[in-house]
């Protein structure tokens, strides 16, 4: 039973496939994560960089020209596009394990279900850069079941001009649109159709605000034409019993907790 989110909020989430939660990070907690991610990008964090996937931003905004998606440091710069495996960083892990997120996962996967991080990633649109991310749904064909929820936290104001996430409300109900693509990207024809949708909307957020995203919700994001970076932390939580044919190990975030009183 959810205590932190109201039935109306859950109805909104089920209908539209997304839900804005408002400000979840206090100013102090926000400043801590902003500083931490900059330290990681600049090579100043006391972490084993070999455990983190780090991808540089695209020089021209094109998705296919973004840097290699591989483990390890790629140089001291704020121009990273993606940093994954942040569950290995204590500051980000503490945030991911907040009771609010535990409760949301319990509502989605069922009380007591162990929950792992499929991915915990920093998604960045550096000032006057950024990479266009095409329309897609978040699913991966090598998993034996689909992860259902992503919790996306704005670490900077996210606006249309700096490349906030754009969604098509309710599109999660259409099911998987391109089951042939390993990670849920649409075909060219499907993407053209999605782009002409008059129903799409931009998820503009203040820094520290959070939005829940159903993993089948159609979404994309553009480049950044402003002086302000668009940093965000996006965590896809999945049932920890999920099996991957790629032999990957996933970090447990919430243990199998049968207690009714964990919130
Ligand atoms: O942050 C973005 O621009 C998009 C991120 C995304 O696709 C995700 O979090 O699943």
Q: Which of 132, 148, 151, 234 has most ligand 1 atoms within 8 Å of its beta carbon, as the pocket-test mutant?
A: 234
Distance of CA 94 to the CA centre of its chain: 16
Ligand 1 centre and the CA of 90: distance in Å?
A: 22
Name the residue among 149, 126, 178, 164 with its Cα closest to residue 242: 149
Write down the pLDDT at residue 193: 87
**β-bridge mates for residue 82, sequence order:** 55, 123
Using the CB atoms, write b or e for 155-165: b if 16+ within 10 Å: bbbbbebbbbb
Write down the pLDDT at residue 257: 63
Mean pLDDT of 249-263: 71
What is the rounded distance in angstroms from the CA atom of residue 209 to the CA atom of residue 158? 9
Query: Which residue, judged by its Cα, is nearest atom 1 of ligand 1?
Result: 123
Write down the pLDDT at residue 236: 98
Q: Which of 219, 220, 223, 235 has most ligand 1 atoms within 8 Å of its beta carbon, as the pocket-test mutant?
A: 219
Segment 16-60, tens digit of pLDDT: 999 999 999 999 999 999 999 999 999 999 999 999 999 999 999
Write down the pLDDT at residue 1: 53
| Residues 123 and 234 sit within 8 Å (Cβ to Cβ) | yes
Name the residue among 79, 185, 102 with its Cα closest to residue 151: 102
Mean pLDDT of 134-142: 96
pLDDT beyond 90 at 263: no
pLDDT beyond 80 at 261: no
Domain positions in the chain are 7-204+214-230+241-254
Contacts of 196 (CB under 8 A, 6+ apart): none
Mean pLDDT of 143-163: 98
Segment 93-128, tens digit of pLDDT: 999 999 999 999 999 999 999 999 999 999 999 999
Ligand 1 centre and the CA of 87: distance in Å?
A: 17
pLDDT beyond 70 at 167: yes
Answer whether 164 contacts ligand 1 (Cβ < 6 A): no
Residue 164 Cα: closest atom of ligand 1: 3
pLDDT beyond 80 at 237: yes
pLDDT beyond 90 at 215: yes
Mean pLDDT of 172-177: 94
Residue 232 Cα: closest atom of ligand 1: 1
Provide the whole-model pTM: 0.95
Write down the pLDDT at residue 258: 55
Residue 234 Cα: closest atom of ligand 1: 9
Q: How confident is the model at residue 92 (pLDDT cuts 50, 70, 90)?
A: very high
Ligand 1 centre and the CA of 219: distance in Å?
A: 8
Rg over alpha carbons for the chain, rounded to the nearest Å, is 17
Ligand 1 centre and the CA of 234: distance in Å?
A: 7
Mean pLDDT of 79-104: 98
Q: How buried is 196 (Cβ within 10 angstroms: 0-12 exposed, 13-18 middle, 19+ buried)? A: exposed
Ligand 1 centre and the CA of 166: distance in Å?
A: 9
The CATH homologous superfamily to which domain 7-204+214-230+241-254 belongs is q2cbj1_9rhob like domain (2.60.120.620)
Answer whether 234 contacts ligand 1 (Cβ < 6 A): yes
> What average pLDDT is seen over the chain?
95
Ligand 1 centre and the CA of 261: distance in Å?
A: 32
Ligand 1 centre and the CA of 256: distance in Å?
A: 28
Q: What percent of the chain has pLDDT over 90?
A: 91
pLDDT beyond 90 at 260: no
Answer whether 220 contacts ligand 1 (Cβ < 6 A): no
Q: How confident is the model at residue 247 (pLDDT cuts 50, 70, 90)?
A: confident
Write down the pLDDT at residue 241: 96
**β-bridge mates for residue 56, sequence order:** 80
| Residues 124 and 229 sit within 8 Å (Cβ to Cβ) | yes
Mean pLDDT of 213-229: 98
């Amino acid at each position: 039973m959810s205590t932190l989110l109201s039935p109306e909020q859950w109805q909104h989430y089920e209908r539209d496939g997304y839900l804005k939660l408002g400000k979840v990070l206090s100013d102090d907690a926000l400043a801590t994560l902003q500083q931490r991610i900059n330290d990681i990008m600049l090579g100043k964090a006391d972490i084993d960089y070999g455990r983190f996937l780090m991808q540089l931003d695209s020089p021209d905004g094109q998705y296919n020209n973004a840097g290699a998606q591989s483990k390890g440091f790629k140089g001291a710069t704020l121009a990273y596009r993606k940093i994954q495996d942040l569950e290995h960083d204590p500051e980000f892990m503490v945030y991911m394990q907040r009771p609010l997120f535990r409760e949301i996962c319990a509502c989605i996967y069922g009380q007591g279900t162990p929950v792992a991080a499929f991915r915990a990633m920093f998604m960045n649109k550096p000032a006057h850069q950024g990479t266009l991310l095409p329309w897609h749904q978040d699913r991966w064909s090598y998993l034996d079941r689909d992860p259902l929820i992503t919790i996306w936290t704005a670490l900077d104001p996210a606006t249309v001009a700096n490349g906030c996430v754009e969604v098509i409300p309710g599109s999660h109900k259409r099911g998987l649109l391109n089951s042939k693509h390993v990670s849920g990207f649409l075909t060219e024809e499907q993407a053209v159709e999605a782009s002409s949708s008059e129903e799409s909307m931009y998820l503009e957020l203040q820094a520290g605000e959070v939005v829940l995203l159903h993993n089948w919700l159609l979404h994309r994001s553009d480049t950044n034409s402003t002086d302000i970076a668009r940093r965000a932390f996006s965590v896809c939580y999945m049932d920890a019993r999920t099996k991957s044919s790629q032999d990957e190990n996933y970090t447990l975030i919430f243990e199998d907790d049968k207690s009714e009183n964990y919130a």
